[in-house]
Amino acid sequence: MSDYLMSEKKTGAENVRWNLADLYPSEEALRQDLAQASDDAEAFRAAWRGKVAGLAPAAMAEALAQLETIQDRAGKAYAYAFLQWATDTGDERRGALLQHVREAYTRAMQQLIFFGLEWCQADDEQAARLVASGALAGYRHYLEVQRAQRDYLLTEPEEKIMAEKAVTGRSAWNRFFDELLGGVRFRLDGEEKTEQEVLSMLHEPDRALRRRAALGLTEGLAAHSRTLASVFNAILADKAVDDRLRGYATWLSDRNLSNEVQNETVEALVEAVVSKYDLVARFYELKRQLLGYDELFDYDRYAPVGESDREYTWAEARDVVRAACHGFHPRMGAVADLFFDRRWIDAPPAPGKRGGAFSHGVVPSAHPYILLNFAGKPRDVQTLAHELGHGVHQYLSRKQGALQADTPLTTAETASVFGEMLTFREMLAREENPANRLALLVGKIDDTMATVFRQIAMNRFEEAIHTERREHGELGVDRFGDLWMQTQEAMFADSVTLGEHYRRWWSYIPHFLHTPGYVYAYAFGELLALALYARYLAEPEDFPVRYLALLEAGGSDWPHALVARAGVDLQDPGLWRDGLAAIETWIAEAETLAQTLA
């Protein structure tokens, strides 16, 4: 056992490692599958190129079924290489395999570019007939979404160049960023820590330790600040070029289109959250009082109160999340059990392992996998619930096939946040001590502050850096820091003192690079999940079936149409106000409980 593992406090998650043999028994099998996908893509191009715009419904259905098979096979290979690399980003052999697969995948997908382009070139009358055809009912929304992209598509040769260059452009920069931060060690109390370890210490009850962790994180980031700024600038510039070539009106236009939401809906969300920044100050004033501090600093934001420094073993975390899923509906519980029983989760922190957590949907012919860095904190239990919410969603939506299983980020985050809510309520129901209930409630509001308000503040930071890069050129390290502090201070007002060290903390957040524009989806999903949860409380017998049907539908319809079946109007701006009002109710409940215990 490594020194790293020997030094860690045991949680029982040390041997909870995923089994990728479900995907491939060997690397050779992966390479064979990838070669077959490439051959199939070439055959597909030869069979259908030049014909798509005039296909009859039956022929179009045949072509789409072949397209699904190719994408499923190639996607499975890509997923295996990525998942293997994610648990040890410093392994050169794994990195080389990932790059090989990425390049081969890109070449195969290039053979398929013609299909979407020709479909978008079909005249509106022909397209409408096909979309309405019963033979294509299982592909209707995929065809609609493809048509929605038509104003932003380039010619086939240009699209091929864009896809090819992405491998050595944005994708390469993202891989470099992940491997850099995966390999950086942060000094803390004379020991070297990973990024994930240091970040987890910001949740410790020891204030002095939190401060040292914050300074240690900053020191490690500062040593690489110019490199990280270069990565950010490269990706900002790359996206600006793509947006200009495609004709997107703003830096966020392509993300909104991908999320299948109107610009006005996102603007209403952002405006609603920004207008309630006062809730942030109100909550942190309560937290300052509960902690007994004269002043709350940035490293105090996630400090536990009361008994919330309780730690969970992996078995305890697993049991509470399982209970929440089974309590909602037996079918959800049965799917959740698969992840635990069949080794679909990789749980422990490890050297070189990718930070954070995710659920990878893989492809419909396989099953999802979940990556965690479980350290036994209450928030780690919530993270498990969050990713399992994604995983259940991804598992159920597989029936939609490779072209319609995936959902936009906005509704994908709804499933994860709803899973968190179920688990939080389970944790709260098991706690009878009022002081501990207050601690759990404050912890939940902590997470909500991060999910709703902090993510929108980060959206404001993204807006600022994309705009500045396009209008004034490259940003220096200090300029990134200026814009980060401005957008963060606007949210916190005077409720939290942000130290000078905090100026560097923009540089470790991967979403800014991997998926520009992503972050507002967290706030979208949280507030939508609150609306769905309210429906559940009002209709506990009928709602679970409708909710599982929503998950099973995957990306087979527009988000507003899907959630309408669950009784929520996504196009009503009042939806965001109602969600924010629910958060305000939690804060009021915590204030009342705190007064009772005083």
Alpha-carbon distance of 49 to 139, in angstroms, equals: 19
Query: Which residue, among 243, 593, 222, 249, has the nearest Cα to 437 in the 3D structure?
Result: 593
| Distance of alpha carbon 514 from alpha carbon 214, whole angstroms | 24
Q: Which two tokens stand for residue 155?
A: 């010619």
Pairing of strands 345-346, 369-371: parallel
Q: Around 573, how many Cα atoms within 13 Å sit in the side-chain half-sphere?
A: 11
The residue ranges of the chain whose pLDDT is under 50 are: 1-7, 308
Positive or negative, the CA dihedral 72, 78, 81, 82 is negative
Q: In the structure encoding, which two tokens stand for residue 159, read together? A: 């699209």
Instruction: Please state whether beta strands 191-193 and 186-188 pair in parallel, antiparallel, or not at all (unpaired).
Output: antiparallel
Q: How many whole angstroms separate alpha carbon 77 and alpha carbon 103? A: 12
Burial class (CB in 10 A: 0-12, 13-18, 19+), 195: buried
Q: Which long-range contacts (CB under 8 A, 24 or more apart) does 1-8 make?
A: 2/351, 4/350, 4/351, 5/348, 5/350, 7/191, 8/349
The three state secondary structure string of 206-256 is CHHHHHHHHHHHHHHHHCCHHHHHHHHHHHHHHHHHHHHHHCCCCCCHHHH
For residues 231 and 474, is the Cβ–Cβ distance under 8 A? no
Residue 113's φ and ψ, nearest 5 degrees, are -60, -35
Q: How many CB atoms lie within 10 A of CB 388?
A: 33
Amino acid at 39: D
Q: What single-letter DSSP state applies at residue 179? A: H
The domains located in the chain, with CATH, are 20-168 (1.20.140.70), 184-308+408-598 (1.10.1370.20)
SS3 417: helix
- Closest to 204 (Cα-Cα) out of 127, 299, 292, 278: 299
- Dihedral sign for Cα 65, 69, 70, 76, please: positive
Residue 328 tokens read as: 């909602």
Residue 186 DSSP SS3: strand
Task: Yes or no: say if 298 and 495 are a contact pair by the CB < 8 Å rule.
Answer: no
Helices (H), 294-377: 314-328, 330-341
Q: What pLDDT was estimated at residue 6?
A: 35
Q: Number of C-alpha atoms within 13 angstroms, CB side, residue 514?
A: 10
Question: Cα-flanking dihedrals φ and ψ of residue 450, to 5°?
Answer: -70, -35
**Mode of pairing for the β-strands spanning 186-188 and 345-346:** unpaired
The whole-number pLDDT of residue 8 equals: 55
- Residue-wise pLDDT for 384-394, tens only, equals 999 999 999 99
- CA–CA distance from 375 to each of 312, 350, 384, 391, 540 (Å)? 8, 11, 11, 20, 33
The pLDDT value recorded for residue 495 is: 95
502/131 Cα distance (integer angstroms):
51
Give the residue among 370, 362, 365, 364 at the shortest CA–CA distance from 405. Answer: 364
| Number of residues in the chain | 598
Largest Cα–Cα distance of the chain, in whole Å?
75
Per-residue model confidence (pLDDT) at position 309: 52
In this predicted structure, what is the pLDDT of residue 307? 54
